[in-house]
Structure 1
Amino acid sequence: MFLALGIGGYFLLPIEPPGLVVILGLCVAFAAVVLSQPGIRLAFIALMIFMSGLGLAQWRNDRVAAPQIIDGSHSFSVEGTVEAVEPQDNGHVRILLDALKIKTLALEDTPQRVRITVRTDSHDVTAGDRVSLRAILSPPPDPVAPYAFDFARDSWFKRIGGVGFAVTDLAILERPTTRSLTNRVNGLRQYIAHRTTMRLDNRAGGIAAALLTGLRGYMAEDDVEAMRIAGLAHLLAISGLHLGLVASTAFFLIRLGAAAIPAIALRFDTRKAAAIMAWLVAFAYFWLAGATIPTQRAFLMISIVLLALLIGRQPISLRVVALSALLILVATPEALLSVSFQMSFAAVTALVAAYEVLAPKLAPWRRRAGFGKRTALYFLGVVLTTLIAEAAIAPFSAYHFNQLTSYGLIANLVAVPLMAFVVMPLGLLALLLMPFGGDGPVLDLMALPFPGL
């Protein structure tokens, strides 16, 4: 908590504090911890952690510093390497370029990355291609209102120094013979999303592509807004539900397969082997989904849960949540300001806290229950989970989106079981069959519930 307070305090400062002041404050706090009496030592430890958060945020801010386009819109001849491609529902393509060469800009004034919307047909461009075009570029825009989403700050930490649109066709100068791992993953995401949207109609294909790859650019804006109003936006953010389904499905299928072979089941601890294999599957899906903040949080928690299974410890606890948050904030302090971080950790913290209280009380009922009562307990669990999560994220939804979901409970009662038992399993099966060309019929089945969602 105090680490987060320190990070938040840095971003609230009206001016950049001198680095020496932060280091000095941290040293004073550390000395106070060492020299103080036990009664007040905790207060100085809290101060030291607070100053550490302040220092982490400042260090990260300095580390990502990169040139930006000067104020105003200007026309530039741009050459760069495609880092990511995201087609839009209106037919345009948004590309992220790095390794830039911009005529009229000196090397020291050239941004590290720019994001450009290409309005012409550029769907054949893939991550890793070297391209050139002429574009109107401007600095990333400031918030449209006080306390609104700060795109300029978000772009700063992504080292995006300019945004704009192309005014000429995009020319592919070179296709690399070998691509980096990041470019290969981005290219694979683009291929899966394109193949999915080609098989399904625009609306269903956009939703399926978002669920399988995390690329939401294929979705129509009214579909995104409708799901947000219905309280189903969390289904589009690949996070705990999706990664949990992937990992748990892999875990139980591997254990089931091992149990069918007595020579393996009787000689080896199949649970540990299944945990390791499930982690590898979750890791692959983590990269395929784009490694966003919700995905990072979910993957860290799943990793810690599987590690706990390996060493025989309690897998789900508030300590796991706290450790996941700590690792994310240390690596990327700016994540504290993102709505996805705030809402995902608010929901998970509330759910785990409730689980720790309710699980021991519900366990005896579950052991004695028959099929009918177990089914009733499942739906009760869905209701309680939805109520707890909705209550936890409501303040953040009101603050960031100026709205509260009016029928999120009913929508989630229908959508979550469909997602857990129909949509995601079929989506995973489609991914497995895609290299062999057998994904089409499975994608058709996967899309059947989308009108209801």
Structure 2
Amino acid sequence: MFLALGIGGYFLLPIEPPGLVVILGLCVAFAAVVLSQPGIRLAFIALMIFMSGLGLAQWRNDRVAAPQIIDGSHSFSVEGTVEAVEPQDNGHVRILLDALKIKTLALEDTPQRVRITVRTDSHDVTAGDRVSLRAILSPPPDPVAPYAFDFARDSWFKRIGGVGFAVTDLAILERPTTRSLTNRVNGLRQYIAHRTTMRLDNRAGGIAAALLTGLRGYMAEDDVEAMRIAGLAHLLAISGLHLGLVASTAFFLIRLGAAAIPAIALRFDTRKAAAIMAWLVAFAYFWLAGATIPTQRAFLMISIVLLALLIGRQPISLRVVALSALLILIATPEALLSVSFQMSFAAVTALVAAYEVLAPKLAPWRRRAGFGKRTALYFLGVVLTTLIAEAAIAPFSAYHFNQLTSYGLIANLVAVPLMAFVVMPLGLLALLLMPFGGDGPVLDLMALPFPGF
């Protein structure tokens, strides 16, 4: 908590504090911890952690510093390497370029990255391609209202120094013979999303592509808005639900397969082997989904849970949540300001706290319950988790979006079981069959609950 307070304190400062002051404050706090009496030592430890958060945020801010476009909008001749491609539902393509060469800009004034919307047919461009075009670029925009989303700050930490749109066709100068791992992953995401939308060829394809790859550009704006109003927007953000379903499905199938082979089941601990394989599957899906902040949080928690299974410890606890938050804030302090971090950790903290209280009380009843009572208990769990999560994220939803959902309970009562037992298991199966060309019928089944199918 005090680390987060220090990070938040840095971003609230009206001016950039001198680095020497932050270092001096941290040293003073450390000395106070060492020299103070036990009665007040905890207070100085809290102060030291607070100053550490302040220093982390400042260090991160300096580390990502990169040139930006200044003085309004201008036309530039741009050459760069495609880092990511995201088609939009209106037919346009938004590309992220790095390794830039911009005529009329000196090297020291050239941004690290720019994001450009291309309105002409550019669907054949992939991550790693070297391209050129002419574009109107401007600085990343400031918030449209006080305390609204700060696109300029978000772009700063992503080292995006300019945004704009192309005024000429995009020309592919070179397709590399070898691509970096990041470009390969981004290219694979683009391929899977394109293949999915070509198979389903309607609104359902956009939703399926978003669930499989995290790329929402294929979705119709009406569908995104409808899911947000219904309280189902969390299903589009690849997070704990999705990674948990993928990992648990892999864990179950691997244990089931191992149990069917007596030579393996009788000689080896299949639970530990299944946990390792499930982690590898979750890791692959983590990268495929874009490694966003909710995905990072979910993957860290799943990793700790699976590690706890391996060493025989309690897998779900508030310590796991706190450790996940700590690791994310140390690596990316700016994540504290993102709505995804705030809402995901608020929901998970509330759910885990409720689980620690309710699980021991429900466990004896669940062990004695038959199929009917177990089914009723499952739907009761869906209702409770929805109510708890909605209550936890309601203040953040009201603050960031100025609204609260009215249909969240009913919508989640229908959508979450479909996601758990139909959509995500079939999505995982489709990904596994895609290299062999057998994904088409599975994608058709996966899309049955989606609108427009």
TM superposition score normalised by structure 1? 0.99
**2:301–2:320 contact (8 Å) kept in structure 1:** yes
Per-residue deviation at 1:439?
A: 1.2
**2:111–2:160 contact (8 Å) kept in structure 1:** yes
Offset from partner CA, 1:147-186 (integer Å, 9 cap, x none) = 0000000000000000000000000000000000000000
Q: State the SS of the aligned residue for 1:392.
A: helix
Matched, 1:77 2:77: yes
Per-residue deviation at 1:200?
A: 1.1
Q: State the SS of the aligned residue for 1:76.
A: strand
Tell me how far apart the structure 2 counterparts of residues 249 and 208 of structure 1 sit (CA, whole Å). Answer: 18
> How large is the Cα RMSD of the aligned pairs?
0.9
Per-residue deviation at 1:452?
A: 9.5
Tell me how far apart the structure 1 counterparts of residues 106 and 139 of structure 2 sit (CA, whole Å). Answer: 17
Select between 257-266 and 224-233 the one with higher mean Cα deviation. 257-266
Offset from partner CA, 1:222-252 (integer Å, 9 cap, x none) = 1111101100000000110110011111111
Tell me how far apart the structure 2 counterparts of residues 255 and 437 of structure 1 sit (CA, whole Å). Answer: 26
Tell me how far apart the structure 2 counterparts of residues 280 and 247 of structure 1 sit (CA, whole Å). Answer: 9
Tell me how far apart the structure 2 counterparts of residues 451 and 93 of structure 1 sit (CA, whole Å). Answer: 24
Select between 47-56 and 249-258 the one with higher mean Cα deviation. 249-258
**2:203–2:452 contact (8 Å) kept in structure 1:** no
Tell me how far apart the structure 1 counterparts of residues 256 and 429 of structure 2 sit (CA, whole Å). Answer: 17
Per-residue deviation at 1:434?
A: 1.1
Tell me how far apart the structure 2 counterparts of residues 276 and 194 of structure 1 sit (CA, whole Å). Answer: 31
Per-residue deviation at 1:143?
A: 0.2
Tell me how far apart the structure 2 counterparts of residues 445 and 267 of structure 1 sit (CA, whole Å). Answer: 38
Tell me how far apart the structure 2 counterparts of residues 152 and 395 of structure 1 sit (CA, whole Å). Answer: 24
Per-residue deviation at 1:15?
A: 0.3
Select between 140-149 and 196-205 the one with higher mean Cα deviation. 196-205
Offset from partner CA, 1:307-332 (integer Å, 9 cap, x none) = 00111100000000000000000000
Per-residue deviation at 1:441?
A: 1.3
Tell me how far apart the structure 2 counterparts of residues 12 and 282 of structure 1 sit (CA, whole Å). Answer: 36
Offset from partner CA, 1:348-387 (integer Å, 9 cap, x none) = 0000000000000000110111111111111110000000
**2:115–2:162 contact (8 Å) kept in structure 1:** yes
Q: State the SS of the aligned residue for 1:61.
A: helix
Tell me how far apart the structure 2 counterparts of residues 63 and 128 of structure 1 sit (CA, whole Å). Answer: 25
**2:204–2:452 contact (8 Å) kept in structure 1:** no
Per-residue deviation at 1:407?
A: 1.1
Tell me how far apart the structure 2 counterparts of residues 265 and 430 of structure 1 sit (CA, whole Å). Answer: 28
Per-residue deviation at 1:265?
A: 1.3
Per-residue deviation at 1:432?
A: 1.1
Per-residue deviation at 1:202?
A: 2.8
Tell me how far apart the structure 2 counterparts of residues 202 and 271 of structure 1 sit (CA, whole Å). Answer: 41
Tell me how far apart the structure 2 counterparts of residues 452 and 404 of structure 1 sit (CA, whole Å). Answer: 27
Aligned to 1:207: 207
Offset from partner CA, 1:287-345 (integer Å, 9 cap, x none) = 00000000000000000000001111000000000000000000000000000000000
Please list, as runs of the form range in 1=range in 2, the aligned pairs for 1:172-183 lying within 5 A after superposition: 172-183=172-183
Structure 2 unaligned spans of 5+: none
Per-residue deviation at 1:137?
A: 0.2
Tell me how far apart the structure 2 counterparts of residues 296 and 193 of structure 1 sit (CA, whole Å). Answer: 21
Tell me how far apart the structure 1 counterparts of residues 378 and 267 of structure 2 sit (CA, whole Å). Answer: 35
**2:87–2:93 contact (8 Å) kept in structure 1:** yes
Tell me how far apart the structure 2 counterparts of residues 132 and 234 of structure 1 sit (CA, whole Å). Answer: 37
Offset from partner CA, 1:239-273 (integer Å, 9 cap, x none) = 10110011111111111111111221111111111
Offset from partner CA, 1:49-74 (integer Å, 9 cap, x none) = 00000000000000000000012000
**2:84–2:186 contact (8 Å) kept in structure 1:** yes
Tell me how far apart the structure 1 counterparts of residues 35 and 295 of structure 2 sit (CA, whole Å). Answer: 42
Offset from partner CA, 1:371-419 (integer Å, 9 cap, x none) = 1111111111000000000000000000011000011000000000011
Select between 424-433 and 158-167 the one with higher mean Cα deviation. 424-433
Tell me how far apart the structure 2 counterparts of residues 441 and 155 of structure 1 sit (CA, whole Å). Answer: 40
Identical aligned pairs, as a percentage?
Answer: 100
**2:143–2:150 contact (8 Å) kept in structure 1:** yes
Q: State the SS of the aligned residue for 2:91.
A: coil
**2:203–2:451 contact (8 Å) kept in structure 1:** no
Matched positions, count? 453
Q: State the SS of the aligned residue for 1:114.
A: strand
Q: State the SS of the aligned residue for 2:141.
A: coil
Per-residue deviation at 1:451?
A: 2.4
Tell me how far apart the structure 1 counterparts of residues 202 and 16 of structure 2 sit (CA, whole Å). Answer: 47
Tell me how far apart the structure 2 counterparts of residues 51 and 364 of structure 1 sit (CA, whole Å). Answer: 47
Tell me how far apart the structure 2 counterparts of residues 273 and 113 of structure 1 sit (CA, whole Å). Answer: 42
Offset from partner CA, 1:420-449 (integer Å, 9 cap, x none) = 111111111111111111111111111110
Tell me how far apart the structure 1 counterparts of residues 369 and 276 of structure 2 sit (CA, whole Å). Answer: 32
Aligned to 1:312: 312
Tell me how far apart the structure 2 counterparts of residues 97 and 250 of structure 1 sit (CA, whole Å). Answer: 36
Matched, 1:435 2:439: no
Q: State the SS of the aligned residue for 1:187.
A: helix
Tell me how far apart the structure 1 counterparts of residues 202 and 106 of structure 2 sit (CA, whole Å). Answer: 43
Tell me how far apart the structure 2 counterparts of residues 14 and 363 of structure 1 sit (CA, whole Å). Answer: 52
Q: State the SS of the aligned residue for 1:133.
A: strand
Q: State the SS of the aligned residue for 2:117.
A: strand
**2:202–2:452 contact (8 Å) kept in structure 1:** no
Tell me how far apart the structure 1 counterparts of residues 452 and 37 of structure 2 sit (CA, whole Å). Answer: 62
Select between 348-357 and 417-426 the one with higher mean Cα deviation. 417-426
Select between 432-441 and 376-385 the one with higher mean Cα deviation. 432-441
Structure 1 unaligned spans of 5+: none
